Amino acid sequence: MRRGWMDWDPAEVPEDVMRDRIALLAAACCDLDVDALLYYTSFPRPAQVSALTHFVPFWSQALLVVTKSGSSMLAMATTGRTVQWIKRVSLVDEVIVGTEIGASAGQWLYAQTQARRVAIASPDDLPQSAYEGLCRALPGAAFVETGSWWQEFEERFGPTPYVSRTAMEIAESALALVCSVVWRDANALVAALDGHCRAHGAEEVSVKVAPDLLRDPTPYRVEGLLNLASNFGVRITLAYKGSWLRSGSSFVSDGQTTVEHPGCVDALRALRASALCTRNISSLVESIQVASGARVPDWNVEGRRGGLPLATLNTCDIALCDVAPSFASFSARIEPSGTPLIFSTAL
Amino acid sequence: MAENLAQQRRRALRQMCEASGVRRLVVYGNAWTCDYLRYATDFAPLEGHALAMLDDSGVRLMLEVRDELERARVEVPDISSEWAPDFHEQARAMIASSTAQCAYAPGNAMPRGLAISLSGSVDFSALMQSLLMNKLEGEIEQVRRAAGLADEGYEIFKHAVREGRREYEVVADVEAFFRSRGCPDNFMIMASGGREVRAMHPPGARQLQRGDMVTTELTPCVSGYYAQICRTLTIGPASREQQRAFDTHLQALEAGLSAIRPGVTADLVATFQNDVFRSCGLGEYTTSQYTRVRGHGLGLYVDSAPAILEGNSMVFQDGMTVIVHPNGYHPEAGYLVLGDALVVRQGGNEILTQTPRQLFSV
């Protein structure tokens, strides 16, 4: 559940940017020969609607309708008392509340346009109950999928430079805390990083820890009390105003001081320098190998896809695309000298 | 070796499946609807879709987000987990891999991409919901521990609220406290201000001011089980209107707590609370325009069945864990919250949250 700062500041995300995106979709309705486009959102799948309206449900689910005339409506599964808040934190022409989001969206569409042909982005992700409500409210309408068509817009509808830069700054300043003292228990470390990110405006943060890299380099969510070994890894997943990233590194402590592991410092430096010249993912991986001399047995490039803010785009297992989009997150496990290390960064 | 809680739950689920003639159960989850999946697998997804299939051969867990697979392998090592980048197609293939009688849950959250391959299967949601509501003693103990943490969290909240601070800074302090205690998740919303406040929400950048009423509900999680507390405070001394509004809410909470016991309906508990407002001429403010529910179940989800609402005929049973909270708008003071978590008991309910029921001022 989202519980960090949620607000809309036109200085960070200008109104024109959002209105232009809706206008582009309205024009696309004509190209696709549909009366309207539908986008589903819930807090696990917020990316599409967030990119179009700045709205992220902190709770529950919603359907965004964009008509070919350029009007937008959000059908949100909540009660009327939250409408004021929704309008304050997002840019949408109309908000309708009620438990049946499919029926609400369908009835509104019928009243507005008597829609006969409606496109749904990622219809497989839509709850079946919402789909059935939509079909009941729009009998005889044809529903078409827009998944592949939407992908063209994903790169163009990314976070604004201010927002992505702020997300990165929050994550970097949080990671700097790791070396500020010697952490013996993972809970205190997670608390410090979580609190720091939220106090600096993060909309959401999740801190995972690999408490003993020599035993297992897998980062996981700390539940209960946990100590740190001398070699440990941290991975922060953070959202700021709809912009998501993963950031992290590996650290070593001698009981007096904590430092970022030199192997990670070298690898991250090489990766970031390489990313200034190329977005080709194979080249990025190669740059790490060359700089650190390390094996890279596991890596994962993530970014927005469909409703997911961080979906795998390419990995050591499966190549889904060759080029890292802007503000993709790159995570890797490297083995420079037998010790497995982990790191993550936004590129 | 004694069974742990996850094993006890899975045994209860297996027995229910056997009694219903179900050979194979498909359970869906995501970060929002995670309780059914956690009950079956002890894994709560944070990102993407997740689907578990339980049958005679064991439990298979399919995860849409690769980062989640890494976590699952550490957190639930006894379960066979796999990454499914083409989630719907791979999950449909898993569902089609067996011809055994299939059931699924929860029906209302099932994505269309999976629902189309489950047509003809049995909707197991209601039966599984009864397991989620009627807790094992080990589950109640976890809710009890979470309630203790909620009380401690409210103390932190009281200290965090100061004139000039922004709402999100207050939340940061509370969340950091919960993480320091090994609590990985907490549902928390809040509001600050006066009569203009109609609901709680995630924190904004508003700076707290003297005279504000500040509301919050904290819902920390222990071993997957959530307990909730709702309280209101004022910055500076409470005004006469704020105190009068609080007194009405206190009366409503006590009416709800006096009504709830095994055998009564959620409707009755809501009616007892709403009657207090009606008797004060505030009946208008008991509608969905001004409030949501008069309480709800607690457990592996922050807001479980039964919803304490007029018209809900669901009957409380011994061992259910719930919160009673007559949260809502008061025309003299704004949005006000007050609620306590409890275990419904035949011989008298066990109130879990211990923070005094008062309008605090800081």
Taking an 8 Å cut-off on Cβ atoms, the answer to whether A82 and B201 are in contact is yes
Residue A290 CA to its chain's centroid (Å): 30
Domains of chain A, by residue range, sit at 15-156, 161-346
Fold of the domain spanning A15-156: Creatine Amidinohydrolase; Chain A, domain 1 (3.40.350)
Cα separation, A285 vs A288, in Å, equals 5
B327 touches chain A (CB under 8 A): no
pLDDT tens readout for residues B214-229? 999 999 999 999 999 9
Whether the pLDDT of residue B205 is over 90: the answer is: yes
Q: What is the pLDDT of residue B132?
A: 98
pLDDT tens readout for residues A254-279? 999 999 999 999 999 999 999 999 98
Cα separation, B13 vs B16, in Å, equals 5
- 0.80 surpassed by pTM: yes
B64 touches chain A (CB under 8 A): yes
Whether ipTM tops 0.90, in short, is yes
B92: nearest CA in chain A? Answer: A124
Q: What is the pLDDT of residue B42?
A: 97
**pLDDT band, very low/low/confident/very high, at A176 (cuts 50, 70, 90):** very high
Q: What is the pLDDT of residue B161?
A: 98
pLDDT tens readout for residues B13-63? 999 999 999 999 999 999 999 999 999 999 999 999 999 999 988 999 999
pLDDT tens readout for residues A286-300? 999 888 888 899 999
Taking an 8 Å cut-off on Cβ atoms, the answer to whether B65 and A310 are in contact is yes
B159 touches chain A (CB under 8 A): no
pLDDT tens readout for residues B145-182? 999 999 999 999 999 999 999 999 999 999 999 999 99
Whether the pLDDT of residue A173 is over 90: the answer is: yes
Taking an 8 Å cut-off on Cβ atoms, the answer to whether B71 and A208 are in contact is yes
Taking an 8 Å cut-off on Cβ atoms, the answer to whether B292 and A79 are in contact is yes
Least Cα distance to B46 among B221, B184, B188, B189 occurs for B184
Cα separation, B218 vs B37, in Å, equals 23
Cα separation, A104 vs A111, in Å, equals 11
Q: What is the pLDDT of residue A7?
A: 92
User: How far, CA to CA in Å, does B304 sit from each of A77, B133, B283?
Assistant: 16, 8, 26
Q: What is the pLDDT of residue A155?
A: 82
Average pLDDT over residues A57-69: 93
DSSP symbols for B14-62: HHHHHHHT-SEEEEEE-SSS-HHHHHHHS---SSS-EEEEEETTEEEEE
Q: How far is B132 from chain A (nearest CA, A)?
A: 20
Taking an 8 Å cut-off on Cβ atoms, the answer to whether B203 and A3 are in contact is yes
Q: How far is B180 from chain A (nearest CA, A)?
A: 5
A86: nearest CA in chain B? Answer: B201
Among A1, A61, A320, whose Cβ lies nearest the Cβ of B187?
A1
Instruction: Mutation target for A interface from B30, B67, B290, B304: give the one with most A CBs within 10 A.
Output: B67
On the question of a cis peptide bond just before residue B106, with omega within 30 degrees of 0, the verdict is: yes
**pLDDT band, very low/low/confident/very high, at A79 (cuts 50, 70, 90):** confident
Q: How far is A101 from chain B (nearest CA, A)?
A: 12
Cα separation, A138 vs A117, in Å, equals 10
Provide, as residue numbers in chain B, all residues whose Cβ is less than 8 Å from the Cβ of A80.
288-289
Mean pLDDT over all residues of chain B? 96
Whether the pLDDT of residue B96 is over 80: the answer is: yes
Whether the pLDDT of residue B100 is over 80: the answer is: no
Pairing of strands A243-253, A231-240: antiparallel
B181 touches chain A (CB under 8 A): yes
Same CATH topology for A15-156 and A161-346: the answer is: no
3-state helix, strand, coil in chain A (%, to 5): 35, 30, 35
- Provide CATH code, domain A161-346: 3.90.230.10
Provide, as residue numbers in chain B, all residues whose Cβ is less than 8 Å from the Cβ of A58.
189, 201-202
Q: What is the pLDDT of residue A1?
A: 65
**pLDDT band, very low/low/confident/very high, at B1 (cuts 50, 70, 90):** low
B358 touches chain A (CB under 8 A): no
Provide, as residue numbers in chain B, all residues whose Cβ is less than 8 Å from the Cβ of A310.
47, 65, 67
Cα separation, B355 vs B339, in Å, equals 10
**pLDDT band, very low/low/confident/very high, at A213 (cuts 50, 70, 90):** very high
Q: Which of A152-161, A216-225, B137-146 has the highest mean pLDDT?
A: B137-146
Whether the pLDDT of residue A100 is over 90: the answer is: yes
Q: What is the pLDDT of residue A166?
A: 97
